[in-house]
Structure 1
Amino acid sequence: MADNRPDYELADRMALTRPDQVKAIGHPLRTMILQLLHERAATVTELAEAVERPKSTVAHHVDVLTRNGLLQVVRTRKVRAIEERFYGRTARMFHVAAESSPAGEQMPRDFNDFEVAARESAKAFEQGKLWGFIRHARISQDQASQFWEQMAELVDEFDRMPRSGETMYGFAIGIYPTDHPTLPTAQ
């Protein structure tokens, strides 16, 4: 499969270790900005046009992401007398680290990806265009961890797919403990 790296350098993964970093990704507009920058670097003007929000609003959210190390200026160009900045992600994939911060601050809870996916997928469901599975299995913690690594590889593969077509597709994946009933051990 062709690699779909953006037009700038970035790390594969970055651990979010500070509460302010986790808070920064918790806003839906910031999440959308990060998703758009998977494809290529963009200016605040381009991002504002894509998300149909005022440039000043987008500039504020880009600033929050940049201050927290999630975005970086990857290049600039002169437009008339103004230097235009192109922003890009600092990593292809961000994950919340479980450690406490050195200052003793509590890590905010990460946003619920499935809640976001449920909202985004409602229209596709109504149109009969939602494809999904849900399964339950009694497995060990080690098996769950190994499966999580496989899922992260699948997300990475999805991120690297060449961009084409007119439709933006969402992709949600996860593994979580449940209180789903289990059968008693066979006699």
Structure 2
Amino acid sequence: MSINHRFPNYDLSDITEVTAPAQLRALAHPLRNAILELLLERAATVSELAAALDRPKSTVAHHVSVLVDAQLLRVVRTRRVRAIDERYYGRTARIFRVGTVSPTEAGDAPYCTNDLATAAAESAAAHQADQLSSIVRHVRIPREQAREFWARVLELADDYAQLPRGGDVVYGFAAGLYPTDGPALPEAESAADPDRP
């Protein structure tokens, strides 16, 4: 029996670094991402996932199989239903952190989705209805500080995933941290400069 009292309702690792090309390709498909997202709430059967996604059971079963083969999903429990074992699938980690992979290993296949592009497409209707909350800030900081900040964002995203379920609307939360060619001010002059007015 699981002693996990957080969402989802089964035990799993907090973070797994994903570097294998098969795993990266598995994460690059939007339907597989949707499956992984649903399983952040609770374990589910292929039938439940197919109903939630409004997709054929055979299609969802194929994508679940790809995720299982990539070790991103696993069977977390079974239930006997009319002489058939019904399998409940769960993630292997709350967060899949994409690690470094060489171009030779990755091949030509895309291995990373642009989650901000997905969020932009999903949020278009909310923007039109004036129900979108968003913000963009640009800051010149060292790479290590950017990594530390991103770790805090991941903690916030996990907190968001733990909010009690209720209501009838699914709200999306998107975050991104990326280098830009944006302008930056030069370093400020020292206040101790005697020539400063």
> SS of 2:106's equivalent?
coil
Query: Do 1:10 and 1:89's aligned partners in 2 also have CA atoms closer than 8 Å?
Result: yes
Give the drift of 1:23: 0.6
Q: Distance in 1 between matches of 2:140 and 2:111?
A: 26
- Quick one: higher RCO (CA 8 Å, sep 6+), 1 or 2? 1
Other-structure match for 1:105: 105
Compute the RMSD of aligned alpha carbons: 1.7
Deviations 1:10-34 (A, max 9, x none): 1111111201101101111110010
1:169 corresponds in structure 2 to: 171
Matches of 2:152 and 2:33, distance apart in 1: 23
Query: Which residue of structure 2 aligns with residue 72 of structure 1?
Result: 74
Letter in 1 for 2:182: H
The alpha carbon displacement at 1:106 in A equals 2.7
Question: C-alpha distance in 1, partners of 2:53/2:40?
Answer: 15
Residue 193 (structure 2) aligns with: none
TM-score by length of 2: 0.87
Q: Which residue of 1 aligns with 2:151?
A: 149
Look up the match of 2:160.
158
Deviation of the 1:135 alpha carbon = 0.8
Residue 17 of structure 2 corresponds to residue 19 of structure 1: no
The alignment partner of 2:133 has SS state of: coil
Instruction: Give % identity.
Output: 54
Q: Is the 8 A contact 2:21 2:101 kept in 1?
A: no
Q: Deviations over 1:73-112 (max 9, x none)?
A: 01111111211111111111111111449xx513744111
115, 132, 135: which is aligned to 1:133?
A: 135
Which range moves more in the overlay, 153-162 or 70-79? 153-162
Give unpaired runs (5+ residues) of structure 1: none
- How far off its partner does 1:162 sit? 1.8
Correspondences of 1:31-46 after superposition (within 5 Å): 31-46=33-48
Matches of 1:185 and 1:89 in 2, distance apart? 46
Structure possessing the higher radius of gyration over alpha carbons: 2
CA distance in 2, matches of 1:74, 1:120: 30
The one-letter code sitting in structure 1 at the alignment partner of 2:41 is E
- Distance, in Å, in 1 between the alignment partners of 2:63 and 2:70 is 11
Return 4-13 or 33-42, whichever deviates more: 4-13
4+ long deviations beyond 4 Å: none
2:195 corresponds in structure 1 to none
| Deviation string, structure 1 residues 26-59 (Cα, Å, up to 9, x no partner) | 1111100101011111100000000001000000
2: CA distance, partners of 1:90 / 1:20? 15
Question: Match for residue 9 of structure 1?
Answer: 11
CA displacement at 1:186 relative to structure 2: 4.7
Alignment of 1:117 with 2:122, yes or no, is no
